[in-house]
Homo-oligomer: A and B are copies of this chain.
């Protein structure tokens, strides 16, 4: 039984190389390739692959967003996310979106082929190390608003701008930032942003 694959990665070099390697496996066949999120979606619609191997970061829409749409449109298509930067939060988001597999790019092609088969068989596979990280990072202690405000603060915007963009009063914004900072044990909003990013909470 052959497994029909969709391969999506914005790096042509990687995608091509990966395609070549996976094609060496007798039971795997690549039916489509894509370089962006929307393209991946279009390709999936056109070819209805058994398994979609998606890079986490792509222009247009990231792997998790694509996965969400895919779940709705092609329930028979299993999604496997491959990523360079394994942040705990990404894994959580991905699983919530119905992704069946999540692996770092540090695995070998051999392993990847096995994992593709695992996912195709309807099982799940999550890289043990990433899983451990996700568990030890735990749940976000931030409320929805706190996370939102922290996110808006991420690029160094002043309180006034955050307040405007979030349609809140400046005082409220400062309250949220303050509580986020203390919950994260940070010294100021900027280290708080960094910590939250590392744990994948924003």
Write the residues of chain A forming the contact surface with B, with a CB cutoff of 8 angstroms: 10-14, 16-18, 20-21, 24, 82, 84, 104-109, 112, 155-158, 186-194
Contacts and interface: CB of A to CB of B under 8 A. Distances in A.
Given A16-B108, A157-B187, 20 more contacts: A11-B104, A11-B105, A12-B106, A12-B107, A12-B108, A13-B18, A13-B107, A13-B108, A13-B109, A13-B112, A14-B14, A14-B17, A16-B109, A17-B17, A17-B18, A17-B20, A20-B24, A156-B187, A156-B192, A158-B187
- State the copy count for this chain: 2
Nearest to A20: B21
Given A20-B20, A21-B20, A194 B14 contact: no
Nearest to A19: B17
